[in-house]
Structure 1
Amino acid sequence: MESWEDVLLYDEVNTSYNTFLNRFLYYFERSFPLKTVYMKNHNEIKCITQGIKVSSQKMRLLNTLKKNTNLSNDILEYINRYQKIYKSVITEAKRRENDRFMLRSHNKTKAIWQIINKETGSFRQGDYITSLKNGSEETSNQQKIADMLNSFFIESTEDLLANNINHSPVQTSQQRIQYQTNTMFWLPITEIEIERVIKSLRGKPSAGFDEIPEYLAKRCSQYIKKPLVHIFNASLKSGVFPDKMKIAKVRPLYKKGERHEVCNYRPIAVLSVFSKILEKLVYNRLISFVTKYAILTELQNGFRKNKSTETPSQTFIESIQEAMGRRFHVIGIFFDLTKAYDVINHIILLDKLNYYGIRGVTNLWFKSYLSHRVQFVETNYLNIKTQNKYISPLRETIHGVPQGSILGPLLFLLYINDLPLNVQGGEMVLFADDINVLVIDKEEGIAQQKINKIMKQLETWFQVNNLLINIKKTVAMSFHLSKSRSVVRPQIFYNNLETAYSSELRFLGIDITENLKWSTHIQSLCSKLSKTSYIIKSLRGVLSPNMLRSIYFAKFQSLLRYGIIFWGCEGDSIKVFRMQKRVLRIISGLGKRDSCRQIFKDYGILTVTLLYILEVLCYIKKHKADLIQNINIHSYNTRINKDFHVQFCRTTLFKKSVVNMGIELHSKLPDKIKNSVGFSVFKRDLKSFLLKHSFYTINEFVSFK
């Protein structure tokens, strides 16, 4: 076994890491030498056993007899019966093989499409770029294509900043920013910790510039933990991030539009697995410090534990519904940032980290981590039957947080963390680089004043922090009731450019309209569900019902569940319910006119209505501390004194809000479920109750006794 003595001899980080990497690559290349492999046809069927081969030969013989000779009815009946059995055996063998393939797969979506393509015979040879154009320059040379892509990815950001950079930035001390008196210090890294982090890797086959995949690092964690502890601790102690960990391999991903236009590709960066391990160790220390001292604003919902896109959307829409119920003017402004992660200014970021307590050697480490990073573009091209790689020269990236990194998202959150402190007068909702502001007021004139003030504050903050707003994609929305006679749309200017109003837009995956009607979202959802329904139907003959049920939960119910607390009580939800029953019939083999109620129970699937009830009541359970019970309103010993107090609702819209519907549904629950101790117990008991009854409508649930 390798002792790594030559690695442990060096305290200088780059020398030690380079020695380790060279030694590791030496063993790697000896164990897994590169070979030229010719592309094979995709017609191999792994499920064919020796017994099936024998049956296949017999089937061919019987078919020949059937075509060329006159046979008795008994023999013909035997051949038909044998053919039917043979087909069912083949189908079952395919199902077993595909089930095993799905269970082994890390990427279920990719596995699903591989099975569909295999069964339909549709194989794509890959998204190869045959030619590329950047302005007046056009080429079909594969090496030049890789070079052009890398140059575009680097220079497009630099050109953007050159036209918009703030040449006289305000110092961080002149902004409103919360100074942290505590200072972050590095805790030593241990072998046990490294093993735990390596074990947490997903084990993907993708690899960085060194071509070492994650799964290989996982397999040999016992043998590399000792040198890695030495290298990583030396890195933290000296404040130096190894240079060879700063190399990113970039692959172009087609977005939309013309495939030969370079601007229609975006970079996907892959870093070295050893870089990921070190970053994860540092991330754990940084997030622990940030969490302990509550440094991140509570308004930020992106990349945070126990928060998701649903968290800000619930807050945002609840605020709008409540304000509309009180007949207030409600203006929403939805900002679109241009290349938010790529244009981060390193000097400003390091200055802010210093304010937040990341000082001294820890600040030096992050400075080293951000500086002198390089990237190259790798493209593939199929030449006859051999796939060739083309690699561009290295180019340095001098802005932004590293793409594809573990630390990048958290560093971005810290970069924009002071935004709410510098913008006063509106309700702000943040999800990473999604920045949204609500302006609410009874008086139209005051609402206009608030908007003007907020836009000026935002303009200053974005300029100071060298962040760029795409005014063409930034939109405003004036929320109002459907029967409102006049709609207030005050003028909104950013950098002397007027912001356009929209009657509908997509907000964190939810289609919202200016009157908060949900027919647009439901229509969009039905379109997505239709595609998923097609996938499940395509797989019905080659996957078992149990595996189809798993795909239903992963691909169909996940779409259903998202945002259902807003639209689940709408009349249009019946359209979604019909699609759900159609998919359930596909999975179970049920006829078009057969009732699905028992199948919902047998498969443990909640109807659309029950999914809505479950999500709304779980929301109420989580936020019960914010609600008022009847016992707090009056002292009478009534049967409902422990129920939550129902607010007075002026409008149907407010009556259908998450909180008001949740309170009404909660009052109809059996006492045993109401009194469940703890959220997990409550959710388990509620789900069991709902599955047992399979209600189709809210009225069925409300009237149940």
Structure 2
Amino acid sequence: MKTGSLGFQSFPVGVVKPKYNLKIIHQNAQYLSNKIEIFTEFLQSTTPDILAISEHGLKEDEIHQCILGGYTLVSYFCRNEYKGGGIAIYSTSNMVQCKHLNWVTGKSIEKTLEVTGMEIMCDKIKLIILALYRSPSGVMNEFFNLLIDILQQLAQKDRYIILVGDLNINTMENGCGHKQLLDIINAYNMIMTINIPTRVTESTATIIDQIITNIPVNCYYTNVINSLLSDHYAQCITINITPPVLKRCYKVGRDLSDDNITCFCSYIQTETWMEVFNDNDIEIKWNSFYGIFNYYFNIACPKVRRNFASVNKATWINKDVVIARTKLRNLYDLYIQCKSQEYKNVYKAYKKVYNTIIKTAKANHIQNIINRSINIPKALWKFVNRERDSLNNKLTGNINLFDGKQKVSCPNRTCNIFNKTFVETVNNLILDKNLIHPQTINNIDSLKDSFVLLEITEADLIKIIHSMANKKSAGLDDISPYLLKSCIPYIAKPLLELVNASIRDGIFPSILKKSVVSPIYKGGTKEDASNYRPITLVPTFSKVLEKVIVNQLIAFLDKHNILNKFQFGFRKKHSTNDAIATVIENIIDNLNDKINCNCVSLDLSKAFDCIQHNILMDKLYKYGVRGIPHMLIKSYLTNRTQQVKVLHRETNEIKEYLSSSLPVKFGVPQGSVLGPLLFILYINDFPHLTQGRSIMYADDTSILNMGQNINELQYITSTNIGVVEKYFEMNDLFINPTKTHCIFFQTKQCRQDYKYKILVKNMEIENVNSINFLGVEIDSTLSWDVYIDRTCSRISRNLFLLNRLAKLLDLKGRRMLYYGLIFPFLSYGIVVWGNSAKALTKRIFILQKRAVRYTAGLKPLESCRDSFVQLKILTLYSMYIFQTILYATNKCNCTVNKQVHTHNTRNKNDYHKWVHNLELYNSKPSVAGCIFYNKLPNSIKQLDNKNQFIRELKNLLINRCYYSIDDYMNDKFCNAG
């Protein structure tokens, strides 16, 4: 282990330390969650580069919700078995060249030794920083054995080490624990640096927190700080070495301030655009338009260097907070000096006042920002996201890739490796097959009518542009929807001419066929380019022209009923909820009819990227897309290119690097408007081919197979899979057998362990007890326990954040927070799982009530029934009733009584209740919705206006505030006329 002072500079005696040194602070928090604002204020006044916190008391899903302004969570350990404890290390958000030591954290044993570590590079010297916590009830000998094990491994790595933490070993006394600790650290050439008390009470003073290091003694100094954060003082070590911190970091980007956009608009409104109107060549017209547009764009909105990595300071800390903290420290010092109960009481009383002052300061600051904002929801979520996950505050590290021979760090090379990987992965999948395609369109009936793409008006164009999401993301041309909306009044006429010219001539301009791809890490080895997901951005003007095509094409497809009714992706009035409900409806029907049923969940590899253009164009022709529209779409697909963009940090500047362009021969761009529609048309004929029922959301495909007995079911499943394999092979789409699964459905009463041997590409696919379909775990008996377990976990995680942030917001903000953090998990798929076992739904309902208490500002055990009504929030059960009624009335062709018989009864307009074999049948979304509808008051059922019906139904459910399904079914009001 190193003991010399190579790379360090000595602190001369009596000389003030230099401006930039590495400062590390350790603080025992005694629960961090309720001290975020106090910690933030402390950090702003002490400005450490690294902060270690012991006894943070947070769980795994809570620690990422606790943000310390300007700091990033680097490594941590959280307890699972016991409460409290835990250890964490934070670094400043602009620190670079640091990494988490996973193997160190893996050594942790709750109470005995809770440890985590990080490694940083300072002035070409590697420093290891370990943060430790030992509970007073931890076994001492086991603690020492674990510590020796860790130090031994670090000693072999030849590093400088700094240990900080709460060891609960009083080094002021010459006890056995102190002696053993000394023997261990002496063996590794380390010393204890803290020699003044770190925990002081009325009657005791102990040193139970320590900083231990092997750095030469003349290269650092230590001190103790009365932080007022707990009954432990903070310990600080300042090392005379430059920390790897970017004090300022710049990024070049467009200056799209409101003034600049206004200036840009003033320039282009004087332009005549004669080149656009006078030329007849589409390519020249579009290039002229871009030339003029970019000329003024570059003048009015130039690219500038912006400060990118500045530390997020707590601007809410005002003069009142500083004065209150000074007063609190003076009261504490007075209490310690006098050791008087009276001073102790005064100190404790003012500490509560200080906590109130600091929380009020932050709450007022946040509320002022939100109230001044033009877009209040956006301002609120900007605040929430800052507080949500500390990992998001960290600047992204540079990407290093392995090119097959060596690791590549040069950004010019990495972006080209990415581009080559993304393009060649698809090319190899298709070209390696070397297939001669048979006719793939014989099963498609040719439509007699042809699609006619009409020119649009200026009003149509403006409506299309204003319907686009107000995003600031842009393609290679830096033109975002946000910018386009700002300037559309001044470019509407030339842009209309360009769009209509493309429609007339059937040519999609080349300048709009250039895409930029950002690689997003998805898991696995970071050096492998295939472990990144390509996210494509197309030019905004391309989206405008695509939207013109899509709007008219969808109207044509709907008119002729071309799109398969079991395709739910990228279609209006179709959603993931509808797809999930359809799957469950079919499964329950089969179980009720005592028909054996399974589901094969298919996984397609790079489905959007593998589309064969010639096959697609043949299918479009069959569907009526012919002539000029056919030419335009073919032009859209051919001669496309893409470049990959990566960000790379160089010293104090973050630069964008672009790869060279590569041709894209297959597929449709996923970030486009037209691409998804073309994809679902490409596979539109698939659901007709199997004996089972194919339910699809874009490329997410599930095939339900039915058979009168197990043997028949196995045969039908194998036959269907054979048909599926053949279809996808003919269409150059590829099933991934390792991610394709089969699940057999059965009732709880008749459970048997059936295993099918089903082959895909000569590989046996896995039989599973649950599958994930569009984010919902469907288990073999439709019990929903797996999904509800996961949902409860997600809600609990967000409850922690809701509880913390609700104290900083007014009622309106808290209600918005509820709908953003909790409501989506309650509502998603509720039509299928909302009628599961009472014990399961009760778990979620308890969490919902806790969320409503946080939102309403109630105490933990206070009744929240009135708050549901006052906040106009549906209970879980009311939400289920509401959604199933809407599903039954809007999505299903349910039979009414008068269709079954001719008797003039008072219930003739109610939905008919069919005889069934299983109680499970009543949980079908359509059946449950009909049952709930029939219980409604006639005054609501007789409403013909759909919007009025929904409004009155929701008001009823809010005001009645049902705490169970039985409450609703037994409500006499529901039977009133």
TM-score by length of 1: 0.92
Alignment of 1:377-416 (within 5 A): 377-416=644-683
Match of 1:223 in 2: 490
Mapped to 2, the partners of 1:478 and 1:121 lie a distance apart of: 42
Q: Is 1:139 aligned with 2:408?
A: yes
Say which SS state the counterpart of residue 585 (structure 1) adopts.
helix
Mapped to 1, the partners of 2:585 and 2:326 lie a distance apart of: 70
Which amino acid counterpart does residue 656 of structure 1 have in structure 2?
S
Which amino acid counterpart does residue 512 of structure 1 have in structure 2?
I
Mapped to 1, the partners of 2:629 and 2:865 lie a distance apart of: 60
Mapped to 2, the partners of 1:694 and 1:443 lie a distance apart of: 46
Deviation at 1:252, TM superposition (A): 0.9
2:562 to 291, 295, 302: 295
Which amino acid counterpart does residue 484 of structure 1 have in structure 2?
C
Q: 1:223 to 1:246 in 2, by over 3 A?
A: same
Deviation at 1:378, TM superposition (A): 1.0
Deviation at 1:489, TM superposition (A): 4.4
Q: 1:25 to 1:330 in 2, by over 3 A?
A: same
Per-residue Cα deviation, 1:111-133 (whole angstroms, up to 9, x for no partner): 2553306xx98762432334122
Match of 2:277 in 1: 8
Q: Is the 8 A contact 1:46 1:97 kept in 2?
A: no
Mapped to 1, the partners of 2:747 and 2:403 lie a distance apart of: 48
Mapped to 2, the partners of 1:554 and 1:581 lie a distance apart of: 16
Deviation at 1:105, TM superposition (A): 7.1
Q: Provide structure 2 residue ranges, at least 5 long, that are not aligned to the other structure.
A: 1-269, 973-977
Deviation at 1:300, TM superposition (A): 1.2
Q: 1:405 to 1:109 in 2, by over 3 A?
A: farther
Match of 2:623 in 1: 356
Q: Is the 8 A contact 1:98 1:543 kept in 2?
A: no
Match of 2:699 in 1: 433
Deviation at 1:620, TM superposition (A): 2.5
Mapped to 1, the partners of 2:887 and 2:549 lie a distance apart of: 34
Which amino acid counterpart does residue 183 of structure 1 have in structure 2?
S
| Residue range with higher mean Cα deviation, 503-512 or 39-48 | 39-48
Deviation at 1:669, TM superposition (A): 2.2
Mapped to 2, the partners of 1:408 and 1:108 lie a distance apart of: 33
Q: Provide structure 1 residue ranges, at least 5 long, that are not aligned to the other structure.
A: none
Q: 1:636 to 1:282 in 2, by over 3 A?
A: closer
Deviation at 1:143, TM superposition (A): 1.8
| Residue range with higher mean Cα deviation, 57-66 or 155-164 | 57-66
Q: Is the 8 A contact 2:769 2:780 kept in 1?
A: yes
Per-residue Cα deviation, 1:509-549 (whole angstroms, up to 9, x for no partner): 21111111111111011111122212312322333232121
Match of 2:362 in 1: 91
- Report the structure, 1 or 2, having the larger helix content: 1
Mapped to 1, the partners of 2:811 and 2:311 lie a distance apart of: 26
Q: Is the 8 A contact 1:239 1:368 kept in 2?
A: yes
Say which SS state the counterpart of residue 696 (structure 1) adopts.
coil
Q: 1:656 to 1:191 in 2, by over 3 A?
A: closer
Q: Is the 8 A contact 1:102 1:111 kept in 2?
A: no
Which amino acid counterpart does residue 385 of structure 2 have in structure 1?
Q
2:308 to 24, 27, 39: 39
Match of 1:443 in 2: 709
Q: 1:75 to 1:450 in 2, by over 3 A?
A: closer
Say which SS state the counterpart of residue 223 (structure 1) adopts.
helix
Match of 1:115 in 2: 386
Q: Is 1:478 aligned with 2:747?
A: no
Deviation at 1:498, TM superposition (A): 2.8
Per-residue Cα deviation, 1:145-194 (whole angstroms, up to 9, x for no partner): 111111111111112223335x2111245x20021111122211322222
TM-score by length of 2: 0.67
Q: Is the 8 A contact 1:95 1:544 kept in 2?
A: no
Q: Is 1:554 aligned with 2:820?
A: yes
Deviation at 1:83, TM superposition (A): 5.2
Alignment of 1:33-72 (within 5 A): 33-39=302-308, 41-44=310-313, 53=319, 55=320, 59=324
Which amino acid counterpart does residue 914 of structure 2 have in structure 1?
Q
Segments ≥4 residues shifted beyond 6 Å: 67-82, 105-110, 120-123
Mapped to 1, the partners of 2:955 and 2:361 lie a distance apart of: 38
Match of 2:766 in 1: 500
- Report the structure, 1 or 2, having the larger strand content: 2
Deviation at 1:343, TM superposition (A): 0.2
Q: Is the 8 A contact 1:164 1:468 kept in 2?
A: no
Q: 1:86 to 1:518 in 2, by over 3 A?
A: closer
Mapped to 2, the partners of 1:85 and 1:444 lie a distance apart of: 68
Q: 1:612 to 1:635 in 2, by over 3 A?
A: same
Per-residue Cα deviation, 1:365-420 (whole angstroms, up to 9, x for no partner): 11111111111111112333321111111111100012311000000011111112
Q: 1:586 to 1:102 in 2, by over 3 A?
A: farther
Match of 2:589 in 1: 322
Which amino acid counterpart does residue 824 of structure 2 have in structure 1?
S
2:500 to 230, 233, 241: 233
Say which SS state the counterpart of residue 389 (structure 1) adopts.
strand
Match of 1:304 in 2: 571
Match of 1:663 in 2: 930
Deviation at 1:4, TM superposition (A): 0.9
Match of 1:491 in 2: 757
Mapped to 2, the partners of 1:161 and 1:545 lie a distance apart of: 56
Which amino acid counterpart does residue 807 of structure 2 have in structure 1?
G
Mapped to 2, the partners of 1:481 and 1:67 lie a distance apart of: 66
Mapped to 2, the partners of 1:106 and 1:396 lie a distance apart of: 41
Say which SS state the counterpart of residue 702 (structure 2) adopts.
strand
Q: Is the 8 A contact 2:687 2:693 kept in 1?
A: no
Mapped to 1, the partners of 2:680 and 2:370 lie a distance apart of: 41
Mapped to 2, the partners of 1:432 and 1:123 lie a distance apart of: 30
Say which SS state the counterpart of residue 600 (structure 1) adopts.
helix
Q: Is 1:582 aligned with 2:847?
A: no
Mapped to 1, the partners of 2:821 and 2:583 lie a distance apart of: 26
Match of 2:874 in 1: 606
Mapped to 1, the partners of 2:384 and 2:548 lie a distance apart of: 35
Q: 1:11 to 1:607 in 2, by over 3 A?
A: same
Q: 1:66 to 1:247 in 2, by over 3 A?
A: same
1:277 to 544, 568, 578: 544
Per-residue Cα deviation, 1:539-596 (whole angstroms, up to 9, x for no partner): 2233323212112113311211111122222221111011111212222221121111
Per-residue Cα deviation, 1:80-104 (whole angstroms, up to 9, x for no partner): 8985774465134223145348873
| Residue range with higher mean Cα deviation, 603-612 or 87-96 | 87-96
Q: Is the 8 A contact 2:592 2:916 kept in 1?
A: yes
Deviation at 1:339, TM superposition (A): 0.5
Match of 1:596 in 2: 864
Q: Is the 8 A contact 2:611 2:732 kept in 1?
A: yes
Which amino acid counterpart does residue 441 of structure 1 have in structure 2?
G
Which amino acid counterpart does residue 585 of structure 1 have in structure 2?
R
Say which SS state the counterpart of residue 483 (structure 1) adopts.
helix
Which amino acid counterpart does residue 185 of structure 1 have in structure 2?
V
| Residue range with higher mean Cα deviation, 522-531 or 253-262 | 253-262
Mapped to 2, the partners of 1:398 and 1:57 lie a distance apart of: 63
Mapped to 2, the partners of 1:142 and 1:388 lie a distance apart of: 9
Q: Is the 8 A contact 1:621 1:679 kept in 2?
A: no
2:467 to 177, 181, 200: 200
| Residue range with higher mean Cα deviation, 337-346 or 473-482 | 473-482
1:456 to 715, 722, 729: 722
Mapped to 2, the partners of 1:499 and 1:77 lie a distance apart of: 65
| Residue range with higher mean Cα deviation, 410-419 or 183-192 | 183-192
Match of 1:180 in 2: 447
Q: Is the 8 A contact 1:452 1:492 kept in 2?
A: yes
Q: Is 1:622 aligned with 2:890?
A: yes
1:210 to 461, 477, 485: 477
| Residue range with higher mean Cα deviation, 388-397 or 541-550 | 541-550
Q: 1:163 to 1:591 in 2, by over 3 A?
A: same
Q: 1:61 to 1:619 in 2, by over 3 A?
A: closer
Per-residue Cα deviation, 1:407-454 (whole angstroms, up to 9, x for no partner): 000000111111123x14212212111222112232344334433432
Q: 1:378 to 1:88 in 2, by over 3 A?
A: closer
2:375 to 101, 104, 110: 104
Q: Is 1:169 aligned with 2:442?
A: no
Mapped to 1, the partners of 2:491 and 2:415 lie a distance apart of: 34
Aligned residue-pair number? 695
Say which SS state the counterpart of residue 413 (structure 2) adopts.
helix
Q: 1:554 to 1:114 in 2, by over 3 A?
A: closer
Residue identity over aligned pairs, in percent, reads 30
